[in-house]
Amino acid sequence: MNAAQPDTVVLVHGLWMTPRSWEAWVDHFRAEGLNVVTPGYPGFDIEVEALREHPEIIAELTVPETVDHLAGVIEALPKPPIIIGHSFGGTLTQLLLARGLGAAGVVIDSAPTEGVRVSPLSQVRSLFPALRNPANRHRAVGFTPEEFHYAFTNTLSEEESRQVWERYSIPAPGHWVWEYGLFANLKPGPQETWVDYAADRAPLLFIGGSEDHIMPPSVNRSNAKHYDRSPAVTEYYEFEGRDHWTCGATGWEAVADHALAWAREHAATADPVG
């Protein structure tokens, strides 16, 4: 491996998931000779089954706590890694790049940072289980298998979706959906998912899936366009026929390979940030 190339990939999971969701990618990238780090959010250091049984452990987790925790993991590495985030992990990846971390970033089906005002109907329907009761602000809220099928795995059969739900799905802090979801832009002043869209940072690729319900392509395209004033490279790429479970559904290797190839190419040519 070229000494100038990043030798580590950090994989950041999203809401309703844990680091287990990256299990196939870990082996895939290690076969490429890379070190792979899959940090969980604070409190996510137990298995899926335990988090389902005790969701109160993560109910009050905050975004700043999570970003600080992930930043600490990245800062402890010998050199800047490639950071790849899925769903809300994409938001966290953008916040990490905004801190000057990473050699390149890829966000897949990313939840938006503050200021992205596109809210398609499929997104509203997907997030409704957490938003229908204001008391969910103070709870960890999960999807039923049927709700998960619509939001995450709508291109799979009901049986296939149920298998994904059983292995990977956990509750998520409800206030993250309330504070950083559909209502984030109603609050005055910069919030915890705000970034300076004009600032320099490592190269960033947005990957969308044409069939994604919870974070549709229009959300990702709008998020990417917000960086138009930044001198850093920002690009968008869309996979046809793929839903929000694109990192695990059949054909995920194409997504992983595209993300890695892009990140390696742009990390090698980018000027250092900071």
> What DSSP letter does each residue of 133-168 carry, written as one string?
-GGGGGSEE---HHHHHHHT-TTS-HHHHHHHHHHH
Query: pLDDT by residue (tens digit) across 227-248?
Result: 999 999 999 999 999 999 999 9
- CA-to-CA distance for 184 and 172, rounded, in angstroms? 17
Distance CA 224, CA 15 (A): 21
Q: How confident is the model at residue 261 (pLDDT cuts 50, 70, 90)?
A: very high
Of 144, 133, 219, 227, the closest CA to residue 177 belongs to: 133
In this prediction, residue 182 carries a pLDDT of 57
CATH for the stretch 8-268: 3.40.50.1820
Confidence bin at 139 (pLDDT 50/70/90): confident
* pLDDT > 90? residue 252: yes
The predicted model scores a pTM of: 0.93
Percent of the chain with pLDDT over 70: 93
Backbone dihedral region for residue 100 (phi beyond 0: left; psi -120 to 50: alpha; all else: beta): left
What is the per-residue pLDDT across 185-197, written as a single tens digit (0 to 9) for each?
555 455 789 999 9
Of 21, 22, 12, 16, the C-alpha closest to 67 is: 12
CA atoms within 13 A on the CB side of 168: 26
Three-class DSSP category at 104: strand
272 pLDDT above the threshold of 70: no
Q: First and final CA of the chain: distance in angstroms?
A: 25
Q: What percent of the chain has pLDDT over 90?
A: 70
Neighbouring-strand partners of residue 209:
239
- pLDDT per residue as tens digits for the range 115-127: 888 777 898 888 8
Asked if 68 and 95 touch (Cβ cutoff 8 Å), the reply is no
Q: What is the pLDDT of residue 271?
A: 65
Three-state secondary structure call for residue 218: helix
H or E stretch including 127?
helix 121-131
